[in-house]
Amino acid sequence: MDGTMVKAAVVQAAPVVFNTSRTLEKLADLTLDATVEGADLVVFPEAFVGGYPKGLDFGARLGSRSDAGREDFRRYFESAIDLPGPDSDLIAKAAQTNKVHLVAGVIERDGGTLYCTAVTYSPEGKLLGKHRKLMPTALERLVWGFGDGSTLSVVESAIGRIGSVICWENYMPLLRMAMYAQGIEIYCAPTVDDRETWLPTMRTIALEGRCFVLSAC
């Protein structure tokens, strides 16, 4: 950063479950609200588009799955988005229309696998980068694939070097070091973790990495 003041908006909101089109409308509306308040950067929570399936077990037991659980997964799979694709184009449009940097948690569909992904768009609507969560936590592994180190990137932008680390990944020391080594300045941490322990974790990262940390739950 060159010392220019940057105003960031951290969105604390939930999607419309199993309704991607309405969720994308909500994303566009909330992005507009933030930019009216002067935001240069808007950060949405983990899995905002596609949804975090909190409380669902998809009917899975070792050796079997229930019909109702299979139906839940079918709906969840269909709520995910393709990158690139028509749904992700609407996220790009929200960034471009409002001339804002936009970071959003999405459930990305690639072939038959879903990934918990964070995307970063420029004010021109260009996809600057995407990061797939490396290690889904606990039962998340039932529905999400594993990312790999190739998406651990920090991207250049007009407001500074932006990177995203998703939820439990923030407890992985080597992953944090990989971000610091790339000179991250704006550290985005989309999450669903609403425990009291989360805030001191974010403060520790800000001090440890000498960066600005933005966490959306």
User: Which residues carry out catalysis?
Assistant: 46, 133, 167
Distance CA 59, CA 71 (A): 9
Hey, is 99 helix, strand or coil? Answer: coil
Using DSSP bridges, classify how beta strands 101-110 and 113-121 pair: parallel, antiparallel or unpaired.
Answer: antiparallel
SS3 66: coil
Q: Determine which helix (DSSP H) or strand (DSSP E) holds 100, and give its type and residue range.
A: none
3-state secondary structure of 41: strand
What whole-number distance in Å separates Cα of residue 91 and Cα of residue 202?
A: 26
Q: Which two tokens stand for residue 97?
A: 């229309």
Contact 77, 114 (CB under 8 A): yes
